[in-house]
Chain A
């Protein structure tokens, strides 16, 4: 595992590494010149833990997320899942990957096909989950149960009939239908109100405890990372500049960028003017 000069690594994680990426780079060519969105990133995501990737806009965290999900090709580098190279998957292999690695995205409304009901959305995953008949209904009920929603009230509804928080929880339930080992939450709470945010974060907490899920939490909000994550990686302009346990990175940051980031976060009680 190579380390770039600027990256500061504190403690390493213990626990078996499920998903990891090595030297992943993504370049876009825009109007003649090349933009490096992700620059030589190597990260490890161990079992049954929450890793937060924190970065501001332009840090490349969302691009990294899409590559890890195999929704976007990498320019160079490798992604490894369960010891196998999954960097250039397609077709059946890709669907197999998605039966184990799932995601929830930022915009609760845009994630839905507005013409179909919640039930329809969930049942669509059944083919990939390889579940039929009675088991199917049971699975749907179970997944909705994890996010504290009742099938009777939810399945028949269209997305526009649900609130933002409900939509996001349905999306989590959808992701769980595949019984994944890894759940990637890409700014999944950013468009939710503060009170709903805590709910969804708690759901993610519980999934880690109850199901042993690996959660990859992408966010710009280091406070949420502090609440949810065991480990934090800080990204700046495409590179990981510091990583370690939450305590290390947030309470005794060593990197200059990390320190500046933390200093700029408004502190509810500490920043009071009067």
Chain B
């Protein structure tokens, strides 16, 4: 087993807003080894995005991180964010130690600037002294390293395909070589062919040590089997099962994991059979026993 990259302990997050706070993450702990990709899987509302935000230290009100400890790079970071002052406290780590790639980031690129301006803006946000030339050199090297066309730097966002935008945004958010990248649903809006390219790119990036670990948050289990070494299944704010991907997929222990796995529909003979069974020998819905002739007019 590889050396430990990061350990997060007892993360608890709430959404404040009304009379009562809503507990989004209820005491989650996880570990990630050097060079590992952890798949954080669950359905909508399970708290996986919130957990990602907590780890990346970008939780802003109405989201509050009540507790959580992140041990990474020899440091112990208190993840709690109860106030804006706490967010300031986290500043040195954001983007450097832990970088976040939010869901839908690719659609938030300003349409009026070229990609190279975006690169410069992002780098300058972390270090005001970086010149445009330096930023572009770094970007060019990175793109070449990952077999991406350098000319995208001269394009506008709308000129690029969805898959290209997502890969680009992934590159930009890791220019600082963060130790850990949290990617929230990076493949959800992409066609399967673009998904594959992004997954391959992420694997290459980890291999080339651009980042040392990735937490890949998604509801899409099949993608995770392509990309993750470990899986953590999340439900109602808790992790219900975690372990090596292969073991979870082949021998799931928890009922919920089994439910999730059984709802995967891939283009296979097994799926076709299930469909056929449903068509022929099923119990039928709870339709009332009306003898009305349907369709007759």
Contact = CB atoms under 8 A, between A and B. Distances in A.
Q: Do chains A and B touch in the complex (CB under 8 A)?
A: yes
A18 to B, nearest CB: 10
B111 to A, nearest CB: 14
Residue from the set A56, A193, A197, A273 with the largest chain B CB neighbour count within 10 Å: A273
A267 interface: yes
A205 B278 contact: yes
A209 interface: yes
Given A145-B285, A212-B294, A226 B226 contact: no
A103 B145 CA distance: 48
B162 A268 contact: no
A54 B192 CA distance: 12
A134 interface: no
A51 B130 CA distance: 56
Given A148-B285, A206-B282, A57 B267 contact: no
Contact of B284 (A164, A210, A227): A210
A193 B263 CA distance: 9
Interface residues of B, number: 51
A220 interface: yes
A223 interface: yes
A228 B275 contact: yes
Nearest to B277: A205
Given A206-B284, A247-B272, A164 B196 contact: no
Interface in B234-292: 244-246, 249-250, 259-261, 263-269, 271-272, 274-275, 278-280, 282, 284-288, 290, 292
Nearest to B190: A57
A261 interface: yes
A221 B196 contact: no
A168 B44 CA distance: 15
A265 B264 CA distance: 12
Contacts of A208: 279
Interface stretch (B121-129, B176-184, B216-224): B216-224
Contacts of B292: 142
Nearest to B293: A179
A228 B269 CA distance: 12
A36 interface: no
A227 B271 contact: yes
B295 A212 contact: yes
B229 A274 contact: yes
A104 to B, nearest CB: 16
B8 interface: no
B195 A266 contact: yes
A269 B249 contact: yes
A272 interface: yes
B172 to A, nearest CB: 23
Contact of B225 (A145, A147, A267): A267
Contacts of B191: 56-57, 220, 264
Interface string A240-274: 00000011001100000000111011111101111
B227 interface: yes
B159 interface: no
A13 to B, nearest CB: 16
Contact of B290 (A138, A147, A206, A264): A138
A241 B119 CA distance: 40
Contacts of B259: 195
Contacts of A197: 263, 265
B285 A273 contact: no
A174 interface: no
A198 B265 contact: yes
Nearest to A56: B191
Interface in A48-87: 56-57
Contact of A141 (B225, B282, B288): B288
A145 B271 CA distance: 27
A211 interface: yes
Interface in B168-219: 191-193, 195-196, 199, 219
A114 interface: no
A227 B245 contact: no
17 contacts: A146-B285, A164-B44, A193-B44, A194-B221, A195-B260, A195-B263, A197-B263, A197-B265, A203-B285, A223-B264, A246-B272, A264-B196, A268-B222, A272-B225, A273-B225, A274-B245, A274-B246
